[in-house]
């Protein structure tokens, strides 16, 4: 049922965000598109097709098959019908090994650079590249090379010729970790926020995570700031005062023609959903520059439920679409920084290299501050080493520190306390 709802609501972002949040709330994982596994629409995939998934008593979904929802390629922005058919045609000869393999097989006349960019940014190649340590950033930087390969392969096919690269790419391989025709461009990996922002550009919403994730782990999370989930606004009383944390989307200002001032509008999104926000003229001068940055914010305001016009599309019974009348804005990083007393960094020994620790030391040393740092290193046998770093390693908790840590480890390992 969730797949059908997501497919039917693909063009209605607020409903998709809400449905994804509802799915995760009951323990259903929503996966980004996959170049080999995705079809056009959303579909159910299974982690344990044989029905032998271990089930914990606390789980709400007790299906031994382990159902998950896989995004459809039809939901990727920029992939029209012709591009989708070209991708499916390229898959007929077997699973695609990576970006270069798709470039070698696909008809270059049916796709453009935007198609490759969207597929990389939404994570469609993650399952083929992550085992080899290739990041989305490296794949994105290699798109021009892949496009040239694609055009050359298409020209050769049309001429009935085969190049050395074409022979290599077309040769059967027994492992997805085998070599490909050419190396990926080396570049700095994206931090978690940039990866998610690019993912949203390709899909219209966040799937593999959310920019607020880095502020949720630990005791100094959003709840400690008094922020309510945005989804709770629908059940609030008219004109109830609320505090929300979220990411600003679609900030715009409107000037009235009759000289009556101006107003601003935007959408605020957190992990539970999104809400429309309206800001009066007197607040634009004070807070407009903060909202225009696109950085996460902590806002206060009053919830209202505007009257719907007679010709507006009816909402399901019992649902109300709230609007927030904004009264105050604060950068979320400022609120978190003032409320965080320490930071914990949790690492797994089997996945941590010496170079990772060297880079971590570099990031910590460039973010000097007053917040103490504790390092937790867990081992496969269940043991854990706890290292309280000295005063010389105290840091300033901010985006520079958190994004730097995320670039090193490729995931969120920091907890705010």
Is 100 found in the same domain as 238? no
Q: Is residue 260 part of a domain?
A: yes
* Pair 388, 305 in one domain: no
**Locate tokens 């271990």: which residue?**
54
Q: Please tell me whether residues 138 and 236 are part of one structural domain.
A: no
Same domain assignment for residues 241 and 181: no
**Domain at 229, CATH number:** 2.40.50.140
Q: Which residues of 330-366 are buried (b: 16+ CB within 10 A; e: fewer)?
A: bbbbebbbebbebbbbbbeeeebeeeeeebbeebbee
Domain final position from 209, 241, 264: 209
In terms of domains, do 140 and 1 share one?
Answer: yes
**Sole residue written with tokens 């990083």:** 333
Task: Count Cβ atoms within 10 A of the Cβ of residue 1 and give its class: 0-12 exposed, 13-18 middle, 19 or more buried.
Answer: exposed
- On whether residue 23 sits in a domain, the answer given is yes
Are residue 44 and residue 137 in the same domain, yes or no?
Answer: yes
Q: How far apart are CA 112 and CA 90, in angstroms?
A: 15
Please check whether residue 184 lies inside any domain of the structure.
yes
Residue 54 domain-assigned (yes or no): yes
Structural domain count, the chain: 3
216 assigned to some structural domain: no
How would you classify residue 337: left for phi > 0, otherwise alpha for psi between -120 and 50, otherwise beta? alpha
Whether 102 and 6 map to the same domain: the answer is yes
Are 72 and 33 in contact by the 8 Å Cβ rule? The answer is yes
Q: Are 203 and 76 in contact (CB under 8 A)?
A: yes
Is 183 a member of any domain?
yes
Tokens found for residue 1: 């049922």
Query: Encoding tokens for residue 177?
Result: 């970790």
Residue 125 domain flag: yes
What are the distances in angstroms from CA 275 to CA 13, 24, 44, 143, 235? 11, 19, 29, 36, 13
The tokens describing 265, both together, are 């509008």
Domain that includes residue 89, residue range: 1-209
Residue 360 and residue 290 in one domain: no
Residue 121 pLDDT greater than 90, yes or no: yes
Say which residue the tokens 């083929």 belong to: 128
pLDDT, residue 364, reads 96
Q: What is the pLDDT of residue 245?
A: 95
Distance (Å, whole) CA 369 – CA 223: 24
Picking from 305, 336, 367, the residue at the C-terminal end of a domain is: 336
User: Which pLDDT tens digit goes with each residue over 12-31?
Assistant: 777 788 888 888 878 888 89
The count of other CB atoms within 10 Å of the CB of residue 280 is: 13
Which tokens go with 77? 């922005």
- 268 and 179 belong to one structural domain: no
Model confidence band, residue 170 (pLDDT cutoffs 50, 70, 90): low
Computed over every residue of the chain, the mean pLDDT equals 86
For residue 30, what are its two tokens? 């929503």
The span from the CA of 13 to the CA of 6, in Å, is: 10
Residue range 289-336, pLDDT digits in tens: 999 888 899 999 999 998 765 555 555 555 678 999 999 999 998 988
Q: Do both 186 and 327 map to the same domain? A: no
Domain assignment present for residue 215? The answer is no
Strands, sheet with 414-416, edge to edge from the N-terminal-most edge strand: 384-388, 373-378, 343-348, 414-416
Of 281, 306, 336, which residue constitutes the final position of a domain?
336
pTM here?
A: 0.80
Q: pLDDT at position 88, please?
A: 96
Maximal C-alpha separation, the chain? 71
Note whether 83 and 17 are same-domain residues.
yes
Do residues 150 and 106 touch, judged by C-beta distance below 8 A?
yes
Is the same domain home to 21 and 65? Answer: yes
């Amino acid at each position: 049922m969730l797949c059908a709802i997501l497919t039917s609501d693909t063009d209605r972002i607020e409903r998709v965000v809400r449905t994804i949040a509802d799915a995760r709330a009951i323990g259903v994982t929503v996966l980004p598109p996959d170049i080999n596994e995705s079809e056009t629409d959303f579909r159910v995939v299974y982690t344990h097709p044989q029905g032998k998934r271990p089930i914990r008593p606390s789980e709400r979904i007790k299906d031994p098959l382990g159902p998950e929802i896989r995004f459809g390629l039809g939901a990727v922005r920029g992939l029209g019908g012709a591009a989708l058919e070209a991708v499916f045609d390229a898959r007929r000869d077997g699973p695609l090994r990576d970006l270069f393999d798709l470039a070698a097989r696909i008809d270059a006349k049916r796709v453009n650079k935007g198609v490759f960019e969207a597929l990389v940014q939404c994570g469609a190649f993650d399952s083929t590249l992550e085992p080899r340590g290739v990041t989305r950033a490296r794949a994105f930087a290699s798109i021009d090379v892949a496009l040239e390969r694609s055009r050359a392969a298409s020209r050769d096919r049309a001429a009935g010729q085969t190049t050395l690269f074409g022979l290599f790419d077309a040769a059967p391989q027994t492992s997805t970790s085998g070599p490909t025709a050419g190396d990926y461009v080396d570049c700095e990996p994206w931090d978690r926020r940039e990866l998610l922002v690019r993912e949203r550009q390709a899909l219209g919403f966040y799937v593999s995570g959310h920019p607020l994730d880095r502020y949720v782990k630990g005791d100094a999370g959003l709840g400690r700031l008094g922020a309510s989930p945005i989804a709770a606004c629908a059940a609030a009383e008219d004109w109830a005062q609320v505090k929300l944390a979220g990411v600003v989307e679609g900030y715009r200002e409107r000037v009235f023609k009759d000289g009556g001032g101006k107003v601003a509008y935007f959408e605020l999104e957190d992990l539970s959903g999104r809400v429309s926000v309206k800001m009066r003229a007197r607040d634009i001068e004070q807070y407009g520059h903060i909202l225009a940055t696109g950085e996460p914010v902590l806002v206060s305001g009053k919830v209202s439920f505007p009257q719907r016009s007679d010709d507006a599309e009816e909402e399901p019974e019992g649902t109300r679409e709230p609007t927030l009348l904004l009264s105050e804005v604060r950068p979320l990083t400022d609120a978190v920084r003032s409320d965080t007393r320490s930071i914990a960094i949790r690492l797994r020994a089997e996945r941590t290299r010496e170079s990772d620790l060297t880079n971590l030391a570099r990031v910590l040393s460039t973010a000097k501050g007053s917040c103490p740092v504790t390092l937790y290193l867990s081992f496969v046998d269940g043991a854990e080493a706890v290292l309280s770093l000295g005063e010389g390693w105290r840091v300033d908790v901010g985006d520079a520190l958190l994004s730097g840590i995320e670039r090193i480890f490729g995931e969120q390992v920091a907890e705010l306390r």
